[in-house]
Structures are given as C-alpha cells and as structure tokens.
C-alpha cells in the first residue's frame, strides 16, 4: 500500500515530533541569545548530560524488559556518598574517616560500583525468583538504600575531596572533560552489550515476550538479576561522577533522577511495554531534557516553571510514542 503525503507527514511527526520541538527551541534560543550556541555552553550541557546518560543507559535495560527502577536515585546518592567518604583530602577538617589515607581512585570506584551492584542484584533476585513486580521491588530497595545511606553518613554532607577525585569532572583529554569521556565509553560498552552479546539479545527477548523467552531456553531469571545489578553499578558510577562534579555529596544526591531517566528513555523511544529501545534512544532522550533545560534557562524562564515544562514534554512525548503501537492493532 502506497502511503499518501499526508500520512507520511503524520508518521514523521509521530516519530520525530519531540526532537523537532527541541530543535526549534534550540535554534530560537541560539538566534535570540548569541552566547547559547558557544563551545563553552555546549561543553556545559555535555557535562550535565554525561551523568544523566549513564543513569539512563542503566535504567534502559530495566525498561526494555518492561520493568523500571525506582531505586536509581537513592543508589546514586549512596554511590556518591561512599565515594566521598573514601576520597577526602587527608588534611580536611571534617573528614569522615579522620585518620584514613584517601584510597586509590580506581579502587574506590570499583568498591562503589560493587556495593551498588549488590543492591541491584537483590532487587533483581526479588523480581526474578519471587515474582515481585519491578515497581514494588525497586521501591523497597529505594527505601532501604536511603536508610542505609543515612545511617552510614549520619546524614552529614561530605566535602574536601582530593584533587584527583575532582579532576574526574574538571580534567580534560583532547579538550573534552573526563566525565564526558566516561559517558562516551559507557555508551559504547552498553551498545556492545545490547547488540553483540547473548545477554543483550536475551534482554530484548524477555521484554518482547517473557513466556516465549522461557520456552526458547533463555535463562530468564539470571538475565533479570544481571540487568538490575548492571544498572545499579551504573548508578553508582553516576553518583561517583556527580560527586566529583559538585565537589561534595549528601544523602539527597540523585533524588528523583530515576524518574527523569525513565522519562528520557521513553522520549528517546524505549518502549515501556518492553522489547524496544536502543542506546541512541537514551542519548536522544537525555539530550532533549538537558538542551531544553538550558534553553529555558537562557530564555529566562523561571526555574520553578521549568518543572512544568518537563511534565508537559513527557505528556506530549509519550502520547506520540504510544501512537506508534496503538495504530498497529
């Protein structure tokens, strides 16, 4: 059947509507505010994107299996705080472990990611083996992680990081911040896992049809645990990155980021009904959010009103996204 011109335009709008709105906004802001389209500002937006992208790529795995992860934000906080306690300057007055030498930064990162992965693995265990819905299992983990972090840090904010740690954000290689490099590397690894490994194919299969996956001999349960553990390790990494950027961390680091990450994934084309979604989806979604935030800021929109803008974008984006599947029936 030949598609008519009008139908083609409609399809195009459904597929790329949100991205087009974003472009119009960016171009408009660029024309009216000359310092918006500058290298400095672009770098800033990329820096903002990098942490968010790592979170979104982690959560994308959960969403592709028709799940979600509400514990992401709190795990980011935990990761940021653990990294903070291990990487404070030896002469900092408010040091968490007063007599401890700052750890090797790579060892610290590894420990952070392992602890966070363990949290994710526990959520994954309850989801896979005890059939707790992902929404509830990760909600429970969210509460547990927050409590654990409060107890661990005594609810005191952390600061006085070593130069080595803050350099994770400020240091550059080929003129691009390390933090952005990290995001690029994580995106590349995630692409590899999604497309070039059995695990990735199993993930799509479980999201597409869990019963059929079971029948086809897919190890559904272990795959689910790996997905949630892997995602949590990435939240830990994001917490580590965000702590370095801010030069400090508190238990509230990452609060609410899970929602934005889920929204970003969906805007970019990860289907909440499962089975669909790419690495590029997460990148597009995160870019839409961060560009929009920056543009609105330049346009002088009240910071509080930006929340409303985010909500409106989610409404529009998901209504459009769902159209792709509704018409198929």
Which residues here bind another protein, judged by CB under 8 A?
A: 195-198, 201-202, 204-205, 208-209, 211-219, 271, 274-276, 328
Smallest separation (angstroms) from another protein to the CB of 55: 25
- 101 or 329: CB nearest another protein: 329
- 206 or 288: CB nearest another protein: 206
Element (H, E) at 171: none
- 215 or 305: CB nearest another protein: 215
Q: Long-range CB contacts (< 8 A, 24+ apart) of 134-139?
A: 134/62, 134/67, 134/68, 134/69, 135/67, 135/68, 135/70, 138/62, 138/68, 138/69, 138/70, 138/71, 138/72, 138/228, 139/70, 139/71
Smallest separation (angstroms) from another protein to the CB of 241: 27
Cα radius of gyration rounded to whole Å, the chain: 21
The HSE-up count of residue 16 (CA atoms within 13 Å, CB side) is: 6
Smallest separation (angstroms) from another protein to the CB of 17: 21
Q: Is 306 exposed, middle or buried (0-12, 13-18, 19+ CB in 10 A)?
A: middle
- 151 or 188: CB nearest another protein: 188
Whole-angstrom distance, CA of residue 323 vs CA of residue 321: 5
- 7 or 198: CB nearest another protein: 198
Smallest separation (angstroms) from another protein to the CB of 225: 16
Smallest separation (angstroms) from another protein to the CB of 220: 9
Comparing CA positions, the residue from 196, 217, 215, 194 lying closest to residue 265 is: 194
């Amino acid at each position: 059947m030949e598609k008519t011109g009008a139908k083609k335009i409609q399809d195009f709008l459904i597929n790329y509507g949100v991205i087009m709105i974003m472009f119009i906004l960016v171009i408009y802001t660029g024309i009216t505010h000359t310092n918006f389209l500058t290298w400095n500002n672009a770098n800033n937006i990329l820096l903002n994107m990098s942490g968010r992208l790592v979170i979104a790529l982690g959560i994308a795995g959960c969403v592709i299996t028709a799940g979600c992860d509400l514990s992401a934000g709190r795990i980011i906080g935990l990761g940021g705080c653990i990294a903070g306690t291990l990487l404070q300057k030896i002469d900092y007055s408010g040091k968490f472990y007063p007599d401890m030498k700052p750890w090797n930064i790579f060892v610290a990162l590894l420990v952070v990611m392992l602890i966070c992965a363990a949290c994710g693995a526990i959520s994954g265990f309850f989801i896979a083996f005890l059939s707790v819905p992902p929404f509830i299992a990760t909600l429970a983990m969210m509460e547990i992680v927050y409590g654990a972090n409060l107890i661990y840090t005594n609810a005191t904010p952390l600061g006085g990081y070593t130069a080595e740690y803050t350099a994770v954000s400020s240091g550059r290689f080929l003129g691009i911040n390390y933090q952005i490099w990290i995001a690029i590397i994580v995106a590349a690894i995630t692409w590899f896992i999604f497309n070039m490994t059995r695990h990735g194919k199993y993930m799509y299969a479980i999201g597409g049809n869990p019963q059929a996956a079971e029948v086809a001999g897919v190890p559904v349960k272990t795959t689910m645990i790996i997905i949630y553990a892997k995602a949590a390790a990435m939240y830990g990494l994001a917490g580590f990155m965000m702590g370095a950027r801010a030069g400090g961390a508190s238990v509230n680091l990452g609060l609410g980021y899970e929602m934005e990450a889920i929204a970003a994934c969906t805007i970019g084309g990860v289907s909440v009904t499962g089975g669909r979604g790419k690495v590029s989806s997460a990148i597009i979604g995160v870019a839409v959010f961060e560009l929009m935030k920056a543009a609105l800021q330049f346009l002088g929109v009240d910071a509080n009103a930006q929340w409303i803008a985010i909500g409106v974008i989610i409404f529009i984006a998901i209504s459009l996204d769902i159209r792709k599947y509704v018409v198929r029936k």
